[in-house]
Structure 1
Amino acid sequence: MPARKAVVRSPIGLHARPAAAFVRAVTRTGFAVRISKAGRPAVDARSLLEVMTEDFDCGCEVELSIQADLVPAGSGPSDADQALDGLCALLDSQAG
């Protein structure tokens, strides 16, 4: 299962608009992405409600992972890696 660590840079964390933008980007990848922070179980990153209720604050380190058993047909490991890299870049670019 591919995974990446990232830091939430949005000043308000993953709440409201930053969370909505993140969830839209996750949905566009077509992958079943999960997001978690230390000490908490992973949640479905395609769900705005789940993302917003997890309290991913500014500066919070998160782990993004893709469920290997839910990879879309025709997608390979490099596609999953690219999707995670793009999502990490999005979290990093929301600094302001």
Structure 2
Amino acid sequence: MAQRRITVQSEVGLHARPAALFVEAAAKSGGEVTVAKGEGQGVSAKSILAVMGLDVRKDDEIVITAEGDDAEQVLDRLAEIADAG
């Protein structure tokens, strides 16, 4: 299991298009991928409703966890999406 803490730099946080890209990238993973806002409860990063329900905004910290052989690559891509501003 791999984990990464990221401060979201996207101007709109993880809403609308960035959320859709985030979920799409997570869905490509063969393993489980979760995202949590701060120290909160993690939700499936493969669910658009769950990700948008976190209400992640610019400068919020998120914790992404991924399992599987491609975990580090998935975390790299999700971090890239969260940092796109």
Alignment gaps of 5+ in structure 2: none
Q: What's 2:72 paired with?
A: 81
Q: What amino acid sits opposite 1:19 in the alignment?
A: A
Q: What's 2:37 paired with?
A: 37
Give the one of 80, 88, 91 matched to 2:82.
91
Q: Which runs of 4+ in 1 moved over 3 A?
A: none
Q: Share of identical aligned residues, percent?
A: 39
RMSD of Structure 2 on Structure 1 (CA): 1.4
Q: What amino acid sits opposite 2:72 in the alignment?
A: D
Q: What's 1:27 paired with?
A: 27
Alignment of 1:45-84 (within 5 A): 45-66=45-66, 68=67, 71=68, 76=69, 79-84=70-75
Aligned residue pairs, count: 85
C-alpha distance in structure 1 between counterparts of 2:10 and 2:31, whole Å: 23
Larger radius of gyration between Structure 1 and Structure 2: 1
